[in-house]
Amino acid sequence: MTPGSEPAFDSPWHARAFALAVAENEADRLSWPDWTARLGATLRNCGLSQSLNGGDDYFLAWLDTLESMLVEEGRIERGEIEQVMAELAEAHEFALHEPRNVQHSVGSD
């Protein structure tokens, strides 16, 4: 492997979080200069208590920033994410008892 040819994203959720923000930008609902200013502020706050390594912690900051901006702009409700997380976790638990299609059955109803 030549330097620089490692995968673009270390985890699938990094890629998904990345794409959600880019999709908002592509839909002209998020300006990139605003985004970088907000992401920079989140990273600065997170970095006060620990040194961020640019992996999970970076994409957690990315996700926090996106959630905050969506809530502020009224596109999602505060608490909505926790509610859907609980639904998904329940669906996942249920799916784990099914013999097959574990991934596909999550959230398919």
30 is an interface residue for another protein by CB under 8 A: no
DSSP letter for 6, please.
S
Taking alpha carbons only, the member of 30, 36, 85 closest to residue 62 is 36
Could you say whether residue 12 binds another protein (CB under 8 A)? Answer: yes
Contacts of 10 (CB under 8 A, 6+ apart): 55, 56
Which of 22, 72, 101, 104 forms a contact with another protein (CB under 8 A)? 22
By CB under 8 A, tell whether 69 contacts another protein. Answer: no
Asked if residue 72 binds another protein (CB under 8 A), the reply is no
Give the angle 102-77-84 at the CA atoms, nearest 5°: 15
Residues that bind another protein (CB under 8 A): 2-13, 15-20, 22-27, 29, 32-33, 35-37, 39-40, 43, 47, 51-56, 58-60, 63, 66-67, 70, 75-76, 80-82, 84-85, 87-89, 92-93, 96-97, 102, 107
